[in-house]
Amino acid sequence: SYELTQTPSVSVSPGQTASITCSGTKLGDKSVSWYHQTPGQSPVLVIYETFRRPSAIPARFSGSSSGNTATLTISGTQALDEADFYCQAWDNDNAIFGGGTKLTVL
């Protein structure tokens, strides 16, 4: 079955750039979504179709993909960005989620 692999944790200083990666076989050929989740809250879509951003999401969030890796980049990271991030793609009509990356802003 298809799998998406994420680094369990990433740390970044306020104002710096955070990169969260997601790996899967030929992931660059798929449409990737990214979700942000804070404790006790529902996930929120931050990137869809690999690089598109919902209108309510700040421009500091961006997405890219190439080969087997998709990347969520957060520029000028703020303390309120601290959360769990999940990548998601489709394979054989099944949605697959990555294991999640905990972003710590310190």
Partner 1 sequence: QVTLRESGPALIKPRQTLTLTCSFSGFSLRTNGLCVTWIRQPPGKAPEWLARIDWDDAKYYNTSLKTRLSISEDTSNSQVVLTMANMDTVDTATYYCARTTRPGPAAAYFDYWGQGILVTVSS
Q: Are 30 and 90 in contact (CB under 8 A)?
A: yes
Q: Binding of partner 1 at residue 97 (CB under 8 A)?
A: yes
Question: Quick check: 33 binds partner 1 (CB under 8 A)?
Answer: yes
Nearer residue to partner 1 within complex by CB, 24 or 98? 98
* Interface with partner 1: number of residues (CB under 8 A): 24
Q: Does 43 bind partner 1 (CB under 8 A)?
A: yes
Interacting residue ranges for partner 1, rule: CB under 8 A: 1, 30-31, 33, 35, 42-45, 48-49, 54, 86, 88, 90, 92-100
